[in-house]
Structure 1
Amino acid sequence: MNANEAIDALSALASAPRLALFRLLVREEPTGLVAGEIAERLGMSPSQVTFHAKTLERAGLVMSNPEGRFVRYRAAIPQMHALIAYLTEECCAGQREVCATMRAESGIDDHWFQSTEEPCR
């Protein structure tokens, strides 16, 4: 991931409805959800879901797949991992032991800081 891709992803997530939509799709991996299910769970209209999902898709964070009359949306987990890796790649100037201590203090599970090649856990 480069700086422009990170900016696009972060810009797309800088909206309460889009952040909620993305977090819901991450939770629903690996199957994803169709727009109607997303709308029901988030209290949006299907057209709002489509609008926000397209913004996330342009940023590479969501994938869509037509299923007859419906469109199924899924979180692009590898892109999410790439964004996290980009944001943390120079943590503590590469001093792994310092970075590990800071991660432990944050309470965040270490698996988010591993390779983007690993499967979703």
Structure 2
Amino acid sequence: MPAQKAQKQQSPSGRPLEHPDRADIRLECVLHALSDPMRLQIVRDLAAGEGELNCSVFDLPVSKSTTTHHFRVLRENGVVRQIYRGTAKMNALRRDDLEALFPGLLDSVLTAASLQASRLDTAS
């Protein structure tokens, strides 16, 4: 469900990283990107961190190729921005873009995810 128009940044390998322009980010695409538990965990970790985080700091219980897929879905649907700093791929939430387009959505999702995590932790 990626948005149509995209900004491109060249990776060290020469492969472009595509990001949708703010105006092309669609609500259904953002919701799709946030619907997966692994992607939601990535977003929660980014929201809790300061600034950009390297892909290697995320400890997800999936393979490296699956982790790469999740980051691509988040990037192509306008939830995160990825940029190369040397050979490291850095990730940041597109909080300003999401807030401008869908006021309160990201904070509501993060609050709900936190409440759910607390509820499920206490239910065990």
1:9 pairs with one of 30, 33, 44? 30
CA distance in 1 between counterparts of 2:53 and 2:62 reads: 14
The TM-score normalised by the length of structure 2 is 0.57
Matched, 1:59 2:77: yes
Distance in 1 between the 2:89 and 2:46 partners?
13
Contact 2:33 2:39 in 1 (8 A): yes
Number of aligned residue pairs:
85
- Tell me, yes or no, if the aligned pair for 2:27 and 2:102 is still in contact at 8 Å: no
For 1:37, the aligned partner's letter is V
In structure 1, the gaps of 5 or more residues are 88-107, 109-121
Larger Rg: 1
How big is the shift at 1:69? 2.0
The alpha-carbon deviation at position 20 of structure 1 amounts to 0.6
Task: Choose from 28, 33, 37 the match for 2:53.
Answer: 33
TM-score normalised per structure 1: 0.58
Q: Summarize the Cα distance change of 1:78–1:55 in structure 2 as closer, same or farther, 3 Å threshold.
A: same
Greater helix percent: which structure? Answer: 1
**Counterparts of 2:50 and 2:80 in 1: how far apart (Å)?**
11
Greater fraction of residues in strand: 2
Which of 68, 74, 77 in structure 1 is aligned with 2:95? 77
* CA distance 1:86–1:26, shift in 2 (3 Å): closer
Cα distance in 1 for residues equivalent to 2:84 and 2:44: 21
Q: Which AA in structure 2 matches 1:33? A: L
Could you tell me which residue of structure 2 aligns to residue 23 of structure 1?
44
Aligned-residue Cα RMSD (Å) equals 2.6
Shift of 1:82: 3.3
Tell me the distance in 2 between the aligned counterparts of 1:83 and 1:15. 21
Q: What percentage of residue pairs aligned between the two structures are identical? A: 25
Aligned partners of 1:29 and 1:74 also within 8 Å: no
C-alpha distance in 1 between matches for 2:34 and 2:101: 12
